[in-house]
Chain A
Amino acid sequence: MTPITLDPHLHAPARLQIATVLANVDTAEFARLREITAVSDSVLSKHLAALVDAGYVRLTKSALDGRQRTWASFTRAGRKAFAAHMRALQALVASAEQAIAAE
Protein backbone atom coordinates (compact mmCIF):
# COMPACT_ATOMS: atom_id res chain seq x y z
CA MET A 1 0.00 0.00 0.00
CA THR A 2 1.39 3.45 -0.93
CA PRO A 3 2.05 5.56 2.17
CA ILE A 4 -0.09 8.70 2.43
CA THR A 5 2.19 11.73 2.51
CA LEU A 6 0.92 15.10 3.62
CA ASP A 7 2.54 18.43 2.92
CA PRO A 8 3.74 19.97 6.21
CA HIS A 9 3.50 23.46 4.69
CA LEU A 10 -0.25 23.01 4.29
CA HIS A 11 -1.04 21.33 7.63
CA ALA A 12 -2.23 24.43 9.48
CA PRO A 13 -5.99 24.95 8.95
CA ALA A 14 -5.52 28.61 8.02
CA ARG A 15 -2.88 27.69 5.42
CA LEU A 16 -5.15 25.05 3.97
CA GLN A 17 -7.93 27.62 3.72
CA ILE A 18 -5.60 30.13 2.07
CA ALA A 19 -4.53 27.41 -0.37
CA THR A 20 -8.15 26.44 -1.06
CA VAL A 21 -9.00 30.02 -1.97
CA LEU A 22 -5.91 30.47 -4.15
CA ALA A 23 -6.59 27.19 -5.95
CA ASN A 24 -9.95 28.58 -7.08
CA VAL A 25 -9.16 32.21 -7.87
CA ASP A 26 -6.41 34.03 -9.73
CA THR A 27 -5.58 36.47 -6.97
CA ALA A 28 -7.00 37.16 -3.53
CA GLU A 29 -6.58 40.28 -1.46
CA PHE A 30 -5.12 40.16 2.04
CA ALA A 31 -8.36 41.43 3.66
CA ARG A 32 -10.46 38.78 1.93
CA LEU A 33 -8.08 36.02 3.07
CA ARG A 34 -8.20 37.39 6.62
CA GLU A 35 -12.01 37.28 6.53
CA ILE A 36 -12.07 33.69 5.27
CA THR A 37 -9.41 32.36 7.65
CA ALA A 38 -10.66 34.45 10.60
CA VAL A 39 -7.15 35.12 11.88
CA SER A 40 -5.41 38.37 12.80
CA ASP A 41 -3.31 40.40 10.38
CA SER A 42 -0.07 39.26 11.96
CA VAL A 43 -1.03 35.56 11.94
CA LEU A 44 -2.13 35.78 8.32
CA SER A 45 1.12 37.55 7.42
CA LYS A 46 3.10 34.72 9.04
CA HIS A 47 1.15 32.04 7.19
CA LEU A 48 1.57 33.85 3.89
CA ALA A 49 5.29 34.34 4.53
CA ALA A 50 5.65 30.60 5.24
CA LEU A 51 3.85 29.76 1.99
CA VAL A 52 6.03 32.24 0.09
CA ASP A 53 9.16 30.67 1.60
CA ALA A 54 7.91 27.25 0.51
CA GLY A 55 7.59 28.60 -3.02
CA TYR A 56 3.82 28.06 -3.04
CA VAL A 57 2.55 31.64 -3.00
CA ARG A 58 3.48 34.86 -4.77
CA LEU A 59 2.66 38.22 -3.19
CA THR A 60 2.23 41.44 -5.15
CA LYS A 61 1.27 44.92 -4.10
CA SER A 62 -0.99 47.20 -6.08
CA ALA A 63 -2.99 50.32 -5.36
CA LEU A 64 -6.78 50.14 -5.14
CA ASP A 65 -8.87 53.14 -4.11
CA GLY A 66 -5.68 55.04 -3.35
CA ARG A 67 -4.45 52.42 -0.89
CA GLN A 68 -1.63 49.93 -1.32
CA ARG A 69 -3.02 46.40 -1.02
CA THR A 70 -1.39 42.99 -0.93
CA TRP A 71 -2.58 40.34 -3.35
CA ALA A 72 -1.70 36.65 -3.12
CA SER A 73 -1.68 34.08 -5.89
CA PHE A 74 -0.57 30.48 -6.21
CA THR A 75 2.63 29.50 -7.97
CA ARG A 76 2.62 26.39 -10.16
CA ALA A 77 4.36 24.51 -7.31
CA GLY A 78 1.73 25.67 -4.85
CA ARG A 79 -1.11 24.50 -7.06
CA LYS A 80 0.54 21.11 -7.49
CA ALA A 81 1.30 20.73 -3.77
CA PHE A 82 -2.25 21.68 -2.81
CA ALA A 83 -3.76 19.14 -5.20
CA ALA A 84 -1.47 16.40 -3.82
CA HIS A 85 -2.24 17.40 -0.22
CA MET A 86 -5.99 17.29 -0.82
CA ARG A 87 -5.69 13.87 -2.47
CA ALA A 88 -3.72 12.65 0.56
CA LEU A 89 -6.35 13.99 3.00
CA GLN A 90 -9.13 12.34 1.01
CA ALA A 91 -7.19 9.06 0.90
CA LEU A 92 -6.65 9.21 4.66
CA VAL A 93 -10.34 9.72 5.34
CA ALA A 94 -11.33 7.05 2.80
CA SER A 95 -8.95 4.47 4.31
CA ALA A 96 -10.34 5.17 7.79
CA GLU A 97 -13.91 4.75 6.51
CA GLN A 98 -12.94 1.49 4.81
CA ALA A 99 -11.38 0.21 8.03
CA ILE A 100 -14.54 1.05 9.97
CA ALA A 101 -16.71 -0.64 7.32
CA ALA A 102 -14.52 -3.78 7.41
CA GLU A 103 -14.90 -4.16 11.20
Chain B
Amino acid sequence: MTRDSLSPAEARAALDSAGAARAHLATLGMCPPWRHGAFGAVMALLVGGAGFPLPVQMGCTALALAGIALIVSYDRRRYGVFINGYRRGATRPVVAVLLLAIIALLFLQIHLREQGVELWVPLAVAGAGFVIAVLGSVWWSRVFRREMERGA
Protein backbone atom coordinates (compact mmCIF):
# COMPACT_ATOMS: atom_id res chain seq x y z
CA MET B 1 0.00 0.00 0.00
CA THR B 2 1.82 3.09 -1.19
CA ARG B 3 -0.99 5.63 -1.64
CA ASP B 4 -1.07 8.38 0.91
CA SER B 5 -4.39 9.95 -0.05
CA LEU B 6 -8.00 8.88 -0.35
CA SER B 7 -11.01 10.34 -2.08
CA PRO B 8 -13.81 11.50 0.25
CA ALA B 9 -15.87 8.48 -0.86
CA GLU B 10 -12.99 6.13 0.05
CA ALA B 11 -12.58 7.93 3.38
CA ARG B 12 -16.30 7.46 4.06
CA ALA B 13 -16.02 3.76 3.15
CA ALA B 14 -13.02 3.43 5.51
CA LEU B 15 -14.99 5.04 8.35
CA ASP B 16 -17.89 2.69 7.61
CA SER B 17 -15.60 -0.36 7.80
CA ALA B 18 -14.28 0.89 11.16
CA GLY B 19 -17.91 1.30 12.23
CA ALA B 20 -18.64 -2.30 11.24
CA ALA B 21 -15.75 -3.50 13.42
CA ARG B 22 -17.12 -1.48 16.34
CA ALA B 23 -20.61 -2.88 15.75
CA HIS B 24 -19.11 -6.35 16.04
CA LEU B 25 -17.51 -5.36 19.35
CA ALA B 26 -20.87 -4.02 20.54
CA THR B 27 -22.32 -7.53 20.27
CA LEU B 28 -19.55 -8.76 22.59
CA GLY B 29 -20.76 -6.33 25.24
CA MET B 30 -23.88 -8.43 25.77
CA CYS B 31 -22.85 -10.53 28.76
CA PRO B 32 -25.04 -13.34 30.12
CA PRO B 33 -26.69 -12.47 33.48
CA TRP B 34 -24.47 -14.89 35.41
CA ARG B 35 -21.38 -13.00 34.19
CA HIS B 36 -22.67 -9.84 35.91
CA GLY B 37 -23.47 -11.98 38.95
CA ALA B 38 -19.95 -13.41 38.99
CA PHE B 39 -18.50 -9.89 39.06
CA GLY B 40 -20.94 -8.99 41.84
CA ALA B 41 -19.85 -12.05 43.83
CA VAL B 42 -16.19 -11.05 43.54
CA MET B 43 -16.96 -7.55 44.82
CA ALA B 44 -19.18 -8.95 47.59
CA LEU B 45 -16.30 -11.17 48.74
CA LEU B 46 -13.95 -8.19 48.92
CA VAL B 47 -16.49 -6.02 50.77
CA GLY B 48 -17.72 -8.87 52.98
CA GLY B 49 -14.23 -10.00 53.97
CA ALA B 50 -13.39 -6.54 55.32
CA GLY B 51 -16.03 -7.01 58.00
CA PHE B 52 -14.37 -10.07 59.53
CA PRO B 53 -11.09 -10.87 61.30
CA LEU B 54 -7.88 -11.02 59.25
CA PRO B 55 -7.84 -14.79 58.46
CA VAL B 56 -11.40 -14.61 57.02
CA GLN B 57 -10.54 -11.37 55.24
CA MET B 58 -7.48 -12.97 53.62
CA GLY B 59 -9.48 -16.04 52.61
CA CYS B 60 -12.16 -13.85 51.00
CA THR B 61 -9.52 -11.81 49.16
CA ALA B 62 -7.86 -14.98 47.85
CA LEU B 63 -11.24 -16.28 46.65
CA ALA B 64 -11.99 -12.92 45.00
CA LEU B 65 -8.64 -12.94 43.18
CA ALA B 66 -9.29 -16.49 41.99
CA GLY B 67 -12.73 -15.34 40.81
CA ILE B 68 -11.18 -12.47 38.84
CA ALA B 69 -8.74 -14.91 37.20
CA LEU B 70 -11.66 -17.18 36.23
CA ILE B 71 -13.66 -14.27 34.80
CA VAL B 72 -10.68 -13.06 32.72
CA SER B 73 -10.09 -16.61 31.48
CA TYR B 74 -13.79 -16.97 30.60
CA ASP B 75 -13.87 -13.65 28.74
CA ARG B 76 -10.79 -14.52 26.71
CA ARG B 77 -12.15 -17.96 25.84
CA ARG B 78 -15.71 -16.92 25.02
CA TYR B 79 -15.15 -13.57 23.34
CA GLY B 80 -11.60 -13.87 21.96
CA VAL B 81 -10.85 -10.45 23.41
CA PHE B 82 -10.06 -9.00 26.80
CA ILE B 83 -11.42 -5.58 27.66
CA ASN B 84 -10.03 -3.90 30.73
CA GLY B 85 -12.85 -2.32 32.73
CA TYR B 86 -10.66 0.74 33.30
CA ARG B 87 -10.29 1.35 29.55
CA ARG B 88 -10.43 4.90 28.23
CA GLY B 89 -13.76 6.02 26.86
CA ALA B 90 -17.36 6.46 27.90
CA THR B 91 -17.18 3.59 30.40
CA ARG B 92 -14.58 5.30 32.60
CA PRO B 93 -17.07 7.46 34.56
CA VAL B 94 -19.09 4.28 35.23
CA VAL B 95 -16.00 2.64 36.72
CA ALA B 96 -15.25 5.76 38.78
CA VAL B 97 -18.76 5.74 40.31
CA LEU B 98 -18.61 1.99 40.94
CA LEU B 99 -15.16 2.23 42.50
CA LEU B 100 -16.24 5.09 44.79
CA ALA B 101 -19.31 3.12 45.91
CA ILE B 102 -17.26 -0.02 46.64
CA ILE B 103 -14.59 1.96 48.52
CA ALA B 104 -17.33 3.65 50.57
CA LEU B 105 -18.74 0.22 51.45
CA LEU B 106 -15.26 -1.01 52.42
CA PHE B 107 -14.79 1.94 54.79
CA LEU B 108 -18.26 1.38 56.21
CA GLN B 109 -17.47 -2.30 56.70
CA ILE B 110 -14.21 -1.54 58.52
CA HIS B 111 -15.97 1.03 60.69
CA LEU B 112 -18.72 -1.46 61.57
CA ARG B 113 -16.18 -4.19 62.35
CA GLU B 114 -14.53 -1.88 64.89
CA GLN B 115 -17.95 -1.28 66.46
CA GLY B 116 -18.34 -5.04 67.03
CA VAL B 117 -21.68 -5.39 65.26
CA GLU B 118 -23.69 -8.60 64.88
CA LEU B 119 -22.87 -11.15 62.18
CA TRP B 120 -25.70 -10.21 59.84
CA VAL B 121 -24.50 -6.62 59.50
CA PRO B 122 -21.27 -7.29 57.51
CA LEU B 123 -23.20 -9.85 55.47
CA ALA B 124 -25.81 -7.22 54.64
CA VAL B 125 -23.08 -4.77 53.61
CA ALA B 126 -21.57 -7.50 51.40
CA GLY B 127 -25.04 -8.01 49.91
CA ALA B 128 -25.20 -4.29 49.15
CA GLY B 129 -21.78 -4.62 47.48
CA PHE B 130 -23.14 -7.47 45.36
CA VAL B 131 -26.16 -5.47 44.21
CA ILE B 132 -24.12 -2.34 43.46
CA ALA B 133 -21.48 -4.34 41.54
CA VAL B 134 -24.11 -6.19 39.46
CA LEU B 135 -25.87 -2.93 38.61
CA GLY B 136 -22.50 -1.33 37.80
CA SER B 137 -21.58 -4.24 35.54
CA VAL B 138 -24.90 -4.02 33.64
CA TRP B 139 -24.51 -0.24 33.35
CA TRP B 140 -20.90 -0.62 32.10
CA SER B 141 -22.00 -3.10 29.41
CA ARG B 142 -24.78 -0.81 28.22
CA VAL B 143 -22.47 2.20 28.02
CA PHE B 144 -19.84 0.12 26.18
CA ARG B 145 -22.38 -1.12 23.64
CA ARG B 146 -23.74 2.38 23.09
CA GLU B 147 -20.20 3.72 22.62
CA MET B 148 -19.40 1.03 20.04
CA GLU B 149 -22.67 1.54 18.17
CA ARG B 150 -22.31 5.32 18.19
CA GLY B 151 -18.83 5.23 16.70
CA ALA B 152 -15.65 7.22 17.22
The answer for the CA separation of A52 and B136 in the assembled complex, in Å, is 36
Is A89 part of the contact surface with B, judged by Cβ < 8 Å?
yes
The answer for the CA separation of A19 and B15 in the assembled complex, in Å, is 12
Partner of B82, one of A8, A27, A92: A27
Give the A-binding residues of B (Cβ under 8 A).
Answer: 1-6, 8, 11-15, 17-18, 20-22, 24-25, 73, 76-77, 79-84, 87, 89, 148, 152
Chain A proximity of B124: nearest CB distance (Å): 35
Given contacts A8-B2, A32-B79, A64-B77, contact A20 B18 (CB under 8 A): yes
Secondary structure of the A contact surface, majority rule: helix
Secondary structure of the B contact surface, majority rule: helix
Partner of B83, one of A26, A29, A36: A26
Given contacts A11-B1, A89-B15, A92-B11, contact A17 B21 (CB under 8 A): yes
Is A25 part of the contact surface with B, judged by Cβ < 8 Å?
yes
Q: Is the CB of A24 within 8 A of B89?
A: yes
Task: Give the number of residues in A that approach B within 8 Å (Cβ atoms).
Answer: 33
Partner of A86, one of B18, B76, B83, B87: B18
Q: Is the CB of A25 within 8 A of B82?
A: yes
Q: Is the CB of B82 within 8 A of A11?
A: no
